[in-house]
Amino acid sequence: MLLLRAFALFILTALAEVIGCYLPYLWLREGRSALLLLPAAVSLAVFAWLLTLHPTGAARTYAAYGGVYIAVALVWLWLVEGERPTARDVVGALVAMTGMAIIVLGPRR
């Protein structure tokens, strides 16, 4: 149950980061309103706060989180941006998730 909670927390953390980065992208690259920077800042603050809720040390958490972030970013690419991930994208995400699993499931002293 603890592992499922941590994984769900990783997904929420990744969504907060993706949203916090995507909104300024829309402003800078797509010419959208600068008002998007306000929810972007809130989203990035939520992202930083969510990182503090993970049960292990900050560096290990952030390293493990990277694999989930990659997978969530590719899902975002598909669902929000309408671009289907390539086979190489999927393989890369699986490799990253494998690395994340090694970090998270590894023995601790």
Residue with tokens 């992202």: 47
Q: How many CB atoms lie within 10 A of CB 46?
A: 17
pLDDT per residue of the chain (109 residues) written in tens, 0 to 9 = 777 888 899 899 999 999 999 999 999 999 999 999 999 999 999 999 998 888 777 777 777 888 889 999 999 999 999 999 999 999 999 999 998 888 878 777 7
Task: Give the span between the Cα atoms of 9 and 51, in whole angstroms.
Answer: 9
Q: Is 82 left (phi over 0), alpha (psi -120 to 50) or beta?
A: left
> Tell me, what DSSP letter sits at residue 35?
G
